[in-house]
Amino acid sequence: MNTISQHTTHQHIEKQQIGATTWQRLVSYGEENRYGIISFVILVIGCLGGLTMMYGAAHSTLVLIAVVIPTMTTLSLLLAVAPMRLLYIAFGITVITDLLVLLGMSF
């Protein structure tokens, strides 16, 4: 009995990875390593948000709202298991907002 074994290669996948942009590679890496990214985001957002609240945002209601909305949005997206693309965008907005408030209150 003759058997024919067929070796399939995934050339189309390799071509997609080569032609992918940095953003697409970052999102696919995040989808593969979701739990590690989630723990990192929770750690950074929790610590940075706490420091921001302690050193600057508690003095003004508007600054408090500006810090709480992006932070809670990011944490809600984590809880809802949202696509990594949305998580990266929310994480970036939250970190930028917290750093701007920290730097703005220090001057």
Q: What is the pLDDT of residues 88-105, one digit of tens each?
A: 999 999 999 999 988 887
Number of domains in the chain: 1
89, part of any domain: yes
13, part of any domain: no
Written as six digits, the tokens of 15 are 């071509």
Owning domain of residue 62:
41-107
DSSP3 helix / strand / coil % (the chain, rounded to 5): 80, 0, 20
Can you say whether residue 61 is alpha, beta or left, with left for phi > 0 and alpha for psi between -120 and 50 degrees? alpha
Cβ neighbours around 16 below 10 Å, total: 12
- Its pTM stands at 0.72
Q: Is-contact 43 52, C-beta < 8 A?
A: no
Q: Check residue 3 and give its pLDDT.
A: 66
45, part of any domain: yes
Instruction: Identify which has the larger pLDDT, 67 or 107.
Output: 67
Given a cut of 60, is residue 17 above it in pLDDT? Answer: no
